[in-house]
Amino acid sequence: MQITLREHFKSFERFPVIPILGYPALPALKITTQECLYNSEKHFNVAKYIFQEYEIDSLLTLLDLTVEAEMLGAQVNYTLYDAPQVKRHVNELKYVETEKKKEYIKTVKKLKEFSEDVPVGAYTTGPFTAAGQTIGIEKLVKLSYMEPENAKTILEEVTETVKDYAREIEDAGADYIIIAEPTSSLLSLEHFRKYSKPNLKSVIMALKKEAILHVCGKSKHLLEEVQETGAAGVSIDQNIPLYEASKVLKKGFLIFGNYSPVNLATEKPNVIKENVEIMLNPVKGMENIIASTGCDIPAKTSPENIKTFINTVKNIKRK
């Protein structure tokens, strides 16, 4: 059964809550990052644990911005529990069918089989971010100014990789796909329109399911453009108050956000409770708000802090 977020959350009296949560579960389960991402059964168990332990409103894979880059030849470094990072970029793109990608697809299938009436989400990396991860962001930005046609050629090739992967995730059963495009927040409006927006639109138009764009960083200048990509919603960082974003975006456009993950890791529970209320009180009455974090929650974040965030959200009525 396909689930759409708009319809699924329409009947909620409280704010739905879907934080970007994954790596803090690994220490508790004694599963390393690499073990999790290269084994669909372990990845599934981590996602199921998060859903059951923290009682969030969606089943979701872990966010990994290196999946597509690794498929295109980049080398990736894995630490014990943190998100993987690219350690070596490439000069030429060369597609490889990686085991990690295959395991991600299997994980989505397992989550959908388990989910019943709970929405299943999965991540892809946006084309501009994936290209930066693959060849290096400095090189990509330099090419966009000095060799624009070369930059476009690289981005088009990366876009096809992202698109094919997103379709496979969709076919595996994901109800919605979060396209993580944080590097686009570094772009001017002109360069976003030229180098990021067309490729995002190409990916989203190829999908049948809802797409949510995750653009953390300083992205307020991109909000109007984001809603023209065909996305069903946007996930934003803490530097844009939810109420301000709602004034820019059209009615019904989903807004995920936007508690600071750094603050969530470092603040006391009573401060988190107070700040969650400050975050959500101005948008009471809005049915398009889904409480989340501005970016990925660090692995070191305590379960107490995460539960305080989630439980506080659940105690706030939307109306």
Mean pLDDT of successive 10-residue stretches along the chain, which has 319 residues: 89 96 97 98 98 98 98 98 97 95 98 95 98 97 94 97 98 98 94 97 97 93 95 96 95 95 98 98 96 97 98 94
- What's the rounded Cα separation, in Å, for the pair 147 and 152? 9
Distance of CA 271 to the CA centre of its chain: 25
**What's residue 224's pLDDT?**
94
**What's residue 67's pLDDT?**
98
The model's pTM is: 0.97
Answer left, alpha or beta for residue 19, where phi above 0 means left and psi between -120 and 50 means alpha: beta
**What's residue 1's pLDDT?**
74
- CATH code 3.30.230.10 for 5-314: no
- What's the rounded Cα separation, in Å, for the pair 65 and 243? 28
Choose among 207, 201, 161: nearest CA to 184.
201
**What's residue 319's pLDDT?**
81
Residues in the chain: 319
